[in-house]
Amino acid sequence: MSEAVVETNGPALALRGVRRAFQQAGAPDLSVLDGADLTIDAGEIVALVGPSGSGKSTLLQIAGLLERPDDGEVVLAGQAASGLGDGGRTRMRRRYLGFVYQYHHLLPEFSAEENVIVPQMVAGVGRKAARERARALLDRMGLATRGHHRPGQLSGGEQQRVAIARALANAPRVLLADEPTGNLDPNTADAVFNEFLRLVREEGLAALIATHNPELAARMDRVVTLREGKVVRA
């Protein structure tokens, strides 16, 4: 019997007392997250900052249900994930979450439009509706004329715009981004980030965005820092 995903009222994303440590050969366990707490409401864009190795990527992996914490809870749209098996967690990811990484990870054999269509069809959306959604998102990212180009025919900025459109394809409630413009030159990064923020706000998403760039962080609604395994205000 499949596990139901039941949505209730509450924040879009909540991390409660999340702990994560990694085993090291011949050494004590390395504690990365030590009781991390964070709540993000719908429509709120939050920057996650901290030095390299502070655990930002681990926190995003746990928030995205790609990794289980050693202790603590992840709650999406009021639904706790701890009691779910792999199938239930997959359904929650598909229903509530979108991901953008530093590298676009587009499927090279497919066009830009097809890259945005594929996750929708995996989620059960019909091809016609998926194509219409893909074209609308690409148009909003300034790529209306580039939909039939493969990733190798696109610039770095265009590839990342496609990746952003793909992340939003299934209308997630929460967007998680790990240095989404970190692989681009400064001018391109600024232009792509402007479009990224605009689209996230238009969609009314909750977003948690890890970045090393203080100028980008300052443009978000709130900045939090990961320090000694805990989330604190910047």
Tens-digit pLDDT profile for residues 17-62: 999 998 877 777 789 999 999 999 999 999 999 988 888 999 999 9
Low-confidence ranges of the chain (pLDDT < 50): 1-8
Q: Give the DSSP letter of residue 55.
A: S
- 215, 186 Cβ separation under 8 angstroms: no
pLDDT, mean over the chain = 89
What's residue 75's pLDDT? 95
Q: In the prediction, which pLDDT does 1 show?
A: 39
pLDDT at res. 102: 77
List, in sequence order, every beta strand (DSSP E) within the chain.
Answer: 13-24, 27-40, 45-49, 71-76, 79-80, 97-100, 174-178, 206-210, 222-227, 230-233
pLDDT, position 9 = 61
Looking at residue 234, what is its pLDDT? Answer: 64
* pLDDT for position 119: 93
The model carries a pTM of 0.88
Q: What is the pLDDT of residue 213?
A: 87
Q: Which CATH class is domain 42-67+93-233?
A: alpha beta
Amino acid at 23: Q
> CB under 8 Å to 216, separation ≥6 — which residues?
47, 181, 189, 193, 209
Strands 45-49 and 13-24 turn out to be: unpaired
The total of other beta-carbon atoms located within 10 Å of residue 67's CB is 14
Specify the residue for token string 């320090």. Answer: 227
- Which are the contacts of 108, defined by CB distance < 8 A and separation ≥ 6? 150, 151, 152
pLDDT computed for residue 2 by the predictor: 44
Residue with tokens 């910047």: 234
Write down the pLDDT at residue 200. Answer: 86
